[in-house]
């Protein structure tokens, strides 16, 4: 069987079927942004991600310091998506012969800056020779109070669907960098045309996990019913919530927050900004659901958009335009 026939999520489900949980301390295993483990009256959150050269990053335009920062942030974001806080990080590197000591110093500078900003300790890791370029594996341990852990599986009909920040910028930043790479390959003396789109480039090269949103929700006394970080695109991640919670969702197209620079770049490239928001991924914002009764409280927080609501599973997962017929949401983001 070809892996493409069942896809990433199908492969994960297939493997998960064979996994047996043997320890009472394992509260939640496969199937969420992080595993949840009982620890001294509280909960530890454990997550891991791997970044591969040629798959997840291109060193033609990705500085190593930015790459180190991003490698840490994608894991911090998983912990925040469980309503917890990251505390410790370990990193494993596969390093090919074309990298020297100064290159690795630069990579670690980015990781340590991320750790400093999010109050995380870098506590160890491993290194190995690689025959296929640079490989970065990061694992993060976080913590959360047992009654505040949020899973993908808690959404209920009538819940509001909320998003922090704006979407689509990271993907448009990637398209911009890819465009300028092609120009450079054709003419190495050409100056890159990046002025005015700094926000897009930063969102792709140096994303920021949304710690402030978690702090704001806690200060407002709001515990989401479900949550996930937006790494694979809005459509894919909404469908993950629906799948794990056994519900449907109606997303209103005109409520999706899209940054001005994202729309400008999309127009310049003759690309659909909504497609970037739905399927682009790597925004690392938070998608979460809350009870309808908390609408006014979350509205007062700012930088959080209510984009739809949860419905019964039989009503489907739909994108609803201002005019026209609803369209079924499809997971077309990164796999």
70 and 174 in one domain?
no
- CATH number for the domain spanning 205: value is 3.90.650.10
- Lowest mean pLDDT of 2-16, 93-107, 175-189, name the range: 2-16
324 and 268 in one domain?
yes
What token pair was written down for 121?
Answer: 């300790």
DSSP 3-state helix, strand, coil percentages of the chain (rounded to 5)? 40, 25, 35
Is residue 28's pLDDT more than 70? yes
pLDDT band at 3 (very low <50, low <70, confident <90, very high): confident
Structural domain includes residue 315: yes
198 and 322 in one domain?
yes
Looking at residue 12, what is its pLDDT? 85
Q: At what angle do helices 211-219 and 64-80 cross, to 10 degrees?
A: 30
For residues 253, 166, 329, 227, the Cα torsion angle rounded to the nearest 10 degrees is -120
Counting Cβ atoms within 10 Å, is residue 302 exposed (0-12), middle (13-18) or buried (19+)?
Answer: exposed
pTM: 0.95
Domain, as residue range, for 65: 3-148
- CATH number for the domain spanning 100: value is 3.30.1330.10
16 and 94 in one domain?
yes
187 and 285 in one domain?
yes
254 and 176 in one domain?
yes
As a whole number, mean pLDDT of residues 245-266 equals 96
231 and 138 in one domain?
no
Is residue 51's pLDDT more than 70? yes
The pLDDT mean for the chain works out to 95
191-242 pLDDT, tens digit each:
888 988 999 999 999 999 999 999 999 999 999 999 999 999 999 999 999 9
Is residue 68's pLDDT more than 80? yes
71 and 141 in one domain?
yes
What token pair was written down for 143?
Answer: 């913590």
Work out how many domains the chain is built from and give that number.
2
Is residue 333's pLDDT more than 80? no
Q: Which residues pair with 26 in a beta bridge?
A: 37
89 and 23 in one domain?
yes
As a whole number, mean pLDDT of residues 83-99 equals 97
Name the E strands within 53-108: 85-95
Structural domain includes residue 132: yes
Structural domain includes residue 155: no
Among 106, 127, 148, the domain-final residue is 148
156-182 pLDDT, tens digit each:
999 999 999 999 999 999 999 999 999
Among 125, 148, 171, the domain-final residue is 148
As a whole number, mean pLDDT of residues 265-270 equals 94
Is residue 283's pLDDT more than 90? yes
pLDDT band at 40 (very low <50, low <70, confident <90, very high): confident
Looking at residue 334, what is its pLDDT? 61
110 and 38 in one domain?
yes
Structural domain includes residue 154: no
Structural domain includes residue 153: no
Structural domain includes residue 226: yes
Among 127, 148, 169, the domain-final residue is 148
171 and 312 in one domain?
yes
168 and 131 in one domain?
no
* Residue indicated by tokens 């996990």: 209
Structural domain includes residue 19: yes
Cα(138)–Cα(143) distance, integer angstroms = 17
124-135 pLDDT, tens digit each:
999 999 998 999
Structural domain includes residue 196: yes
């Amino acid at each position: 069987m070809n892996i493409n026939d069942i896809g990433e999520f199908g492969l994960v489900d297939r493997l998960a079927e064979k996994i047996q949980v043997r320890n009472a301390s394992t509260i939640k295993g496969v199937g969420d942004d992080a595993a949840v483990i009982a620890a001294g009256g509280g909960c530890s959150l454990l997550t891991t991600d791997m970044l591969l050269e040629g798959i997840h990053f291109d060193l033609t335009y990705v500085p190593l310091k930015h790459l180190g920062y991003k490698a840490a942030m994608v894991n911090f974001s998983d912990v925040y998506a469980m309503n917890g806080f990251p505390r410790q990080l370990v990193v494993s590197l596969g390093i090919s012969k074309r990298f020297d000591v100064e290159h690795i110093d630069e990579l670690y500078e980015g990781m340590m800056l991320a750790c400093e900003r999010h109050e995380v300790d870098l506590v160890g890791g491993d290194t190995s020779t690689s025959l296929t370029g640079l490989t970065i594996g990061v694992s993060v341990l976080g913590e959360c109070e047992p009654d505040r852990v949020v899973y993908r599986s808690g959404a209920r009909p009538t819940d509001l669907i909320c998003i922090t920040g704006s979407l689509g910028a990271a993907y448009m930043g990637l398209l911009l960098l890819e465009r300028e790479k092609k120009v450079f390959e054709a003419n190495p003396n050409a100056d890159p045309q990046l002025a005015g789109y700094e926000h897009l480039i930063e969102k792709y090269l140096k994303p920021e996990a949304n710690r402030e949103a978690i702090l704001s929700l806690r200060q407002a006394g709001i515990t989401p019913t479900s949550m996930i970080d937006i790494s694979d695109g809005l459509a894919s991640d909404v469908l993950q919530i629906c799948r794990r919670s056994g519900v449907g969702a109606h997303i209103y197209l005109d409520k999706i927050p899209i940054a001005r620079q994202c729309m400008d770049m999309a127009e310049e490239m003759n690309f659909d900004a909504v497609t970037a928001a739905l399927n682009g991924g790597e925004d690392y914002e938070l998608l979460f659901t809350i009870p309808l009764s908390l609408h006014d409280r979350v509205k007062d927080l700012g930088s959080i958009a209510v984009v739809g609501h949860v419905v019964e599973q039989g009503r489907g997962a739909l994108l609803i335009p201002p005019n026209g017929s609803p369209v079924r949401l499809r997971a077309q983001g990164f796999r």
